[in-house]
Amino acid sequence: MVSTLPVSRGRCGLCAGQALESLPLPRSTVGGALAALPGLGLVRCRACGQEQVDPRPSDQALSAFYQGQDYTAHEPVDDAAARRRAAGQLAVITRAGGVLSGARVLDVGCGGGQLLAAARAAGAQVCGVDVAMHAQAACAAQGLECVASLEALGERSFDGIVMSHVLEHVPDVLAYLAQLRARLAPGGWLCLEVPNRGSLRARLSPRWVTSLGADERHRAFPIHLWYFTQDTLTRALTASGFAVALSTTSGFGVDALAPRWLAARVGLGLRPQPSARQPSARGAGGGEGDAGGGEGDAGLAAAGQGRATTARQRARGALKRRYFDALLGENLLVVARSR
């Protein structure tokens, strides 16, 4: 029989502080019957600032939820967005000095295997972990190894481990990070991605804004058991024997500040309008009278437009990098090395 009684740690899961401040429960929840359990709470540690669900759902209740049909977060969706996200994570790893070519790379919570496939294309030897049968099947269809648990790996070790949007679901963060560190070869790297409680969207989400229907600061309560900032995630990693090499963020997320009813209303019936600068099909071909202008003028114009576009792309890329490195993005991306 699944226990429905919430479990209280009674102290901070990171610094063991016992001065916990109760916070208002979010209006929106995730998890169906799990979210409806009585007695759940949300607290902030006065010592280190970590926010956590306490009392939280029991291990049995969480396990039943993740094995049920209602949990679809790790559906093996293979689309352009998933591939861009995987490429972005690998770029951050490389930026932090992580080597992919020839490395043994493990992806914990690998879903459909997009990151595994990208890492394999970069020369890595890859393996995934995911409890979902459909994720394991999706990986197998691509010739990617995927097992159901860390224990199924036996004594294998890795040069690098990636874990995206998993740590916030783990009941004991420090114990799980210690398991990952034990799997790393000396000097190996760990790339973590978690929701960012310090994001711009989270900072602009006071209760009076969320009462109008905007997205809440504490997303996915109560299945997200932890709400990390860069400071608290660094504290967890340091306590677990890691040294942070790089911290950045990804995803703007500020569109979620628009109340859902307003976003839905604005989106109704809108169609993208052609740019006033965009030539018509007839004009693009050039009439007989224009033909005498020569291909040289058209080539110079196209080259000038190409340079302007490239300059705009560079400027946009630089602005995005500044925004994300200022830790304002929706997701925290941290690369750490085993000490």
- Host domain of residue 183: 80-198+222-258+322-338
- In this prediction, what percent of the chain has a pLDDT beyond 70? 77
Mean pLDDT (the chain) is 83
In a domain, 84, yes or no: yes
Average pLDDT over residues 307-333: 87
Q: Are 88 and 250 in contact (CB under 8 A)?
A: yes
Q: Which helix (H) or strand (E) holds 248?
A: strand 242-250
In a domain, 177, yes or no: yes
Encode pLDDT of 259-280 as tens digits. Answer: 554 445 544 333 333 333 332 2
Q: What is the CA radius of gyration of the chain?
A: 24
Average pLDDT over residues 154-172: 96
Q: Are 330 and 198 in contact (CB under 8 A)?
A: no
Predicted pLDDT at 223: 93
Encode pLDDT of 25-41 as tens digits. Answer: 888 888 888 888 999 99
- Can you give the pTM of this predicted structure? 0.80
Predicted pLDDT at 292: 38
Encode pLDDT of 190-241 as tens digits. Answer: 999 999 999 988 888 766 565 655 566 677 899 999 999 999 999 999 999 9
Q: Say which amino acid occupies 97.
A: G
- In this prediction, what percent of the chain has a pLDDT beyond 90? 58
In a domain, 305, yes or no: no
DSSP letter string, 278-334: SPPHHHHH--HHHHTTHHHHHHHHHHHHHHHHHHHHHHHHHHHHHHHHTT-SSEEEE
Of 10-14, 67-71, 144-148, 281-285, the least confident:
281-285
Q: Is the pLDDT of residue 182 over 90?
A: yes
In a domain, 166, yes or no: yes
In a domain, 1, yes or no: no
Cα–Cα dist 121/118, whole Å: 5
Q: Which residues of 295-331 are buried (b: 16+ CB within 10 A; e: fewer)?
A: eeeeeeeeeeeeeeeeeeeeeeeeeeeeebeebbbbb
CATH at residue 116: 3.40.50.150
Encode pLDDT of 57-111 as tens digits. Answer: 999 999 888 877 666 665 677 778 889 999 999 999 999 999 999 999 999 999 9
Bridge partners (DSSP) of residue 53 are: 42
In a domain, 283, yes or no: no
Peptide bond into 55 cis (omega under 30): yes
pLDDT confidence band for 288 (50 / 70 / 90): very low
224 versus 293: which is more confidently predicted? 224
Predicted pLDDT at 304: 62
Q: Is the pLDDT of residue 293 over 50?
A: no
In 3D space, the residue among 251, 252, 233 whose CA is nearest the CA of residue 242 turns out to be 233
Number of domains in the chain: 1
Q: Is the pLDDT of residue 3 over 60?
A: no
In a domain, 132, yes or no: yes
pLDDT confidence band for 258 (50 / 70 / 90): low
Q: Is the pLDDT of residue 286 over 70?
A: no
Q: Are 167 and 234 in contact (CB under 8 A)?
A: no
pLDDT confidence band for 287 (50 / 70 / 90): very low
Predicted pLDDT at 254: 67
In a domain, 240, yes or no: yes
Of 113-117, 155-159, 208-212, the least confident:
208-212
